[in-house]
Structure 1
Amino acid sequence: MKVNVFKISQRSPDDVSALDELIQTQKLNPMTIAAILGKTEGNGCVNDFTRGFAVQSLKNYLTQQIGSEQSQKIIYIMSGGTEGVLSPHLTIFTREESPLTEPTHKGLVLGRHHTRDFLPEEIGTLTMVKVVAAGVQTAIEDAKLTPKDVHFVQIKCPLVTATEQTEKQDSYTSMAFSRGASALGVAVALGEVSLEQIQSSDICQRYDLYSSVASTSAGSELKNCEILVLGNADSTSAFVIGHSVMHHALDIEAIHAAIQATGQPREQVVNVFAKAEADPTGRVLGCRHTMLDDSDISHTRMARAVVGAVIAAVIQDPMIYVSGGSEHQGRPGGGPIAVIARRSEKSSDLTR
């Protein structure tokens, strides 16, 4: 497998000009696009329509290029919210088979899966955990990976809209439960948590149950889950991925650890993918924070701004993917962080 990674800026959620330039100059074959991850400039909450607008614009454009059937196979994951210095952008992953004559090394591979649509009453439940777990396993097989070589699992999951909400879940609450159930599905698929350990009441309650590589983002623009698995295996890719887990919003050491895990210097970093949340204890490094007490601005927006600034300062690039709300994604108050880097010519194979 050969995976290529392209990172391009966007002037607006419907801006496909940079993608079009890559295609028109034949730097990117649209038939090989496997997944597109984006940061859009909405609020990242229930009524963030920039996510759906971006997906619609991409699908319309790519349908003209490669046809409806092929464009529907692509994984589209848009994360809303570019607070602070975060810059709107798209990360495009292509995948193709390599000639058998090309030498292989430990490099980036990907797998993907679209789950079935979920009923409103299934979102954030054990049923969702099970369906996502099965979907992640399928994506791992699609990537020809082993669980220990998985470094990042990105999932776009649905939420319950106002017309669908029940007495137990309103729209905003459903975002957290959808993210949490999806993350636990990743944990089950990778053997980090056994299904028998999880009770329905544990979702968004028992945060000692989590995945170290899950990143989940909820939105109203879909009813199913779109799953992207990234890891290292024998490939001809010019990229590698590494990960770590941030223990708090200012955990610079975890950023450096994720970069180091790629075996490449900071200058080779292509993009960083991280989760962010306001520490539920109300403290960061022992000091009180007020993100959870602010009634004007969602705490997920504040957390994205903080973590985004910390990561951007380390790699000196504001075009990074930071998603808010890390229920069951890493330890409370922190979250998984993954780094994709371009292999230097002198790189040796990774050991993991």
Structure 2
Amino acid sequence: MQRNSFDVIRIPTSGPGDVSGLMALVDSGGLKPSSILAVLGKTEGNGGVNDFTREYAVAALCNALAPRLALTPRAVESRIAFVMSGGTEGVLSPHMTVFARGHSPEAAQDSAGEARLSVGIAHTRDFLPEEIGRNAQIGETASAVATAMREARIDAVSDVHFVQIKCPLLTSERVQDALARGKTTVTASGYASMGYSRGASALGVAKALGEIGADVAEAQALKNWDLYSSVASCSAGIELMHNVVILVGNSRFSASPFRIGHAVMKDSIDLPAIMQALESVGLSGLDPPSQSRLVNIFAKAEASPNGAIRGLRHTMLDDSDINATRHARAAVGGLIAGVAGTGAVYVSGGAEHQGPAGGGPVAVIARH
């Protein structure tokens, strides 16, 4: 039996439609298109309902890869897990992280040593508008996470360190479609629906990994903040109606030269949690050797819902010009970039049920 082997590559982009870095790598022979498993990117859109940079980025990638894979662009999107997250406020820099899969000739019995990075992907079915933010999305996400975990050949949930979900949102047209069929949606607000979709998806991750009870249902979504996943990262977008899952952990069946670890930030200035995540993969932080081994850091950002951080008032929730989600991304992005020595880190806003209220998971991938 062969061991899995994975590569993880971070590529800067000059705009949402820029695939030049990826295609240069393909053209040089450094990356086979058929080996690409998932692409996780940050675009410079607003991260809101009308952020079409995410759809543009996915379309550009599918169109570029389609002739190399002898597939239609739509077929490429079904084969590869694309997750684009909008919002690069502050020092955050647009980029993509490519996960590619290969194989090692080593026998499975030789993998009893240290577990290495492994990746699994899955897609749910398309949701009806009235299912977004509700039990159907929670249950289907939990099933997809279990599928991705099996594909990654990860035995224990404790070895899962990062589960990225791309989930849908509601538009006025989608709300009207439900009403025309005699159904009601969880909310009529497109922006509010992003939170419900992220929250239900995160609860699905938590349910699949045993972080919460199997009986948790939609009634707790965006209400009981004691329920959360320590590894979920969910991003909502207008470009799809299903959930895309990228699950990353460590497996004894992997011969990858990388490892992943994580910690949980209790709030948006929790530097010790970031250092803990770095230390979990053998990095010490700001020193040059650690920065040279660092591949990327992935984190969720959230404004504290009670309007204060460690007893001091913040104004993120009261700014009528800039949404709190964008403030939080900029704040956490600056904190992490200072440690990583680069702004090309993945920070996603909106952490409903993704870490404790006001905080969020932070994961690190490093070369072994």
Residue of structure 1 equivalent to 2:333: 308
Residue of structure 2 equivalent to 1:17: 20
Are 1:193 and 1:210, in contact at CA under 8 Å, matched by a contact in 2?
yes
Moved more, 39-48 or 89-98: 89-98
Pairing 1:38–2:41 present: yes
Are 1:300 and 1:325, in contact at CA under 8 Å, matched by a contact in 2?
yes
Are 2:172 and 2:190, in contact at CA under 8 Å, matched by a contact in 1?
yes
Secondary structure of 1:163's counterpart equals: helix
Are 2:186 and 2:193, in contact at CA under 8 Å, matched by a contact in 1?
no
Moved more, 182-191 or 20-29: 20-29
Distance 1:164 1:294 in 2: 29
Residue of structure 1 equivalent to 2:85: 79
Task: Quote how far apart the aligned CAs of 1:71 are.
Answer: 5.3
Residue of structure 2 equivalent to 1:66: 69
- Of all paired residues, the percent bearing the same amino acid is 51
Residue of structure 2 equivalent to 1:347: none
User: Between Structure 1 and Structure 2, how many residues are aligned?
Assistant: 342
Distance 2:294 2:147 in 1: 28
Q: How does 1:60-209 map to 2 (within 5 A)?
A: 60-68=63-71, 69=75, 72-100=78-106, 104=111, 105-145=114-154, 146-165=156-175, 168-169=186-187, 170-196=189-215, 198-209=216-227
Deviations 1:182-203 (CA, angstroms, capped at 9, x unpaired): 000000000001121x243210
- Counterpart residue identity of residue 202, structure 1: Q
Secondary structure of 1:255's counterpart equals: helix
Distance 2:350 2:237 in 1: 12
Are 1:31 and 1:70, in contact at CA under 8 Å, matched by a contact in 2?
no
- Counterpart residue identity of residue 256, structure 2: S
Task: Quote how far apart the aligned CAs of 1:225 are.
Answer: 0.3
- Counterpart residue identity of residue 140, structure 1: M
Task: Quote how far apart the aligned CAs of 1:167 are.
Answer: 6.5
Task: Quote how far apart the aligned CAs of 1:264 are.
Answer: 3.5
Distance 2:173 2:78 in 1: 27
Secondary structure of 1:297's counterpart equals: coil
Distance 1:71 1:122 in 2: 23
Structure 1 unaligned residues grouped into runs of 5+: 344-352
TM-score (norm 2): 0.91
Task: Quote how far apart the aligned CAs of 1:295 are.
Answer: 1.3
Distance 2:328 2:70 in 1: 39
Residue of structure 2 equivalent to 1:262: 281
- Counterpart residue identity of residue 98, structure 2: I
TM-score (norm 1): 0.95
Task: Quote how far apart the aligned CAs of 1:168 are.
Answer: 4.4
Please tell me the root mean square deviation across aligned C-alpha atoms, in Å.
1.3
Moved more, 69-78 or 222-231: 69-78
Distance 2:240 2:193 in 1: 14
Moved more, 140-149 or 264-273: 264-273
Distance 2:107 2:81 in 1: 29
Distance 1:213 1:26 in 2: 34
Distance 2:6 2:32 in 1: 12
Distance 1:236 1:143 in 2: 12
Structure 2 unaligned residues grouped into runs of 5+: 176-183, 285-289
Distance 2:125 2:185 in 1: 25
- Counterpart residue identity of residue 215, structure 1: S
Distance 2:79 2:336 in 1: 32
Deviations 1:197-221 (CA, angstroms, capped at 9, x unpaired): x243210110100000000000000
Deviations 1:91-125 (CA, angstroms, capped at 9, x unpaired): 00001221126964421001110110000000000
Residue of structure 2 equivalent to 1:247: 266
Q: How does 1:280-299 map to 2 (within 5 A)?
A: 280-299=305-324
Residue of structure 1 equivalent to 2:234: 216
- Counterpart residue identity of residue 273, structure 1: F
Pairing 1:333–2:333 present: no
Task: Quote how far apart the aligned CAs of 1:65 are.
Answer: 1.1
- Counterpart residue identity of residue 251, structure 1: D
Are 1:63 and 1:71, in contact at CA under 8 Å, matched by a contact in 2?
no
Distance 2:122 2:310 in 1: 38
Task: Quote how far apart the aligned CAs of 1:134 are.
Answer: 0.6
Are 2:134 and 2:186, in contact at CA under 8 Å, matched by a contact in 1?
no
